[in-house]
Amino acid sequence: MMKDQHFLIDERIIDRIVRYAALDDTETVLEIGAGTGNLTKSLAKHVAKVIAIESDHRLVETLSDLSLSNVKVIHGDALRVEFPKFDKVVSNLPYSISSDITFKLLKHDFTLGILMYQHEFAKRMVATAGMKDYSRLSIVTQYFADVQILEIVPRTALYPQPEVGSAIVRLAPRPPSLEVLDKDFFFDFVKAIFTQRRKQMKNAIINAAHMMNLSDAKKLVDLLPQDLMCKRPEKLSPEELAALSNLVYEVRHEDSI
């Protein structure tokens, strides 16, 4: 068992998670960190197939012992396993992989995710510009999907009890809401400047220039809108960041900066 894996034991919350997922009997559901199978069993009653990924061999045996004909158990690390095709993802995620697994999921084609995260992490997913929790995670998640906290889950709903509360999050993928010239560069740009989130943008770009392969960042910032260069990254909206990313991308390619 992962040291941060907490099993969902409250049947009422399991029932609500299944209800939030609006499942039907034609769908394939992916479950990451299936654990002892409490959620798995409920999912299996409503769908054509459950793909349950679990890294702990002892828990894989427990899941296999459930003998559910429509559950396929995959023994492996969810960050390394290639996901089979799935329609929805419904999971109580291990805390330590929350960020990496979310970014991996968002690269796949699915209709809905009902996912349980640490509450603090969930707040970062839904945060908007100027909020304390606004981060790279907020921007990347909201680039790909509509995201909403459905409910806060008390520590007593899990075993062993975590030190913090959890939250159930609805993740609904949709076409990107921002117009960017190069998606990969936009994500690199956001990642770079948020390592300097408390600096003014001009200093953030200069300090993180190596992360964006900029050879002359000081020259570059003089060519960018100065009203934005005086703001901190955490104060800029996703639209403003997308526009800046496009400008940096264009100038970098035209002037080899």
Phi, psi for residue 37 in degrees, rounded to 5: 90, 10
Interatomic CA distance for residues 189 and 208, integer angstroms: 9
Q: Which stretches of the chain drop beneath a pLDDT of 50? A: 1
Contact status, residue 35 vs residue 6, Cβ threshold 8 Å: no
The conformation of residue 6, written as its DSSP 8-state character, comes to -
Listed by start position, the domains of the chain span: 7-173, 183-255
Long-range contacts of 127-133 (CB under 8 A, 24+ apart): 128/237, 129/234, 129/235, 129/236, 129/237, 129/238, 129/240, 130/234, 130/235
What pLDDT, on a 0 to 100 scale, did the predictor assign at position 256? 61
Contact status, residue 191 vs residue 40, Cβ threshold 8 Å: no
What pLDDT, on a 0 to 100 scale, did the predictor assign at position 1? 44
Phi, psi for residue 169 in degrees, rounded to 5: -120, 135
- Between strands 166-173 and 7-8, the pairing is unpaired
pLDDT digits (tens, 9 = 90+) for 163-202: 999 999 999 999 998 999 999 999 999 999 999 999 999 9
Interatomic CA distance for residues 160 and 169, integer angstroms: 21
pTM value? 0.92
What pLDDT, on a 0 to 100 scale, did the predictor assign at position 177? 87
The separation between the first and the last C-alpha atoms of the chain, rounded to the nearest angstrom, is 48
- For residue 112, list its beta bridge partners: 88
What is the 3 state secondary structure string of 102-149? HHHHCCCCCCEEEEEEEHHHHHHHHCCCCCCCCCHHHHHHHHHEEEEE
CA angle 184, 232, 180 (to 5 degrees): 25
DSSP calls for 187-245: HHHHHHHGGGTTS-HHHHHHHTGGGGT-S-HHHHHHTS-HHHHTS-GGGS-HHHHHHHH
Type of residue found at 172: A
Architecture of domain 7-173: 3-Layer(aba) Sandwich (3.40)
Q: Among candidates 40, 97, 45, which has minimal Cα distance to 72?
A: 40
**183-255 topology per CATH:** Helicase, Ruva Protein; domain 3 (1.10.8)
Q: And the tokens for 117?
A: 């995260």
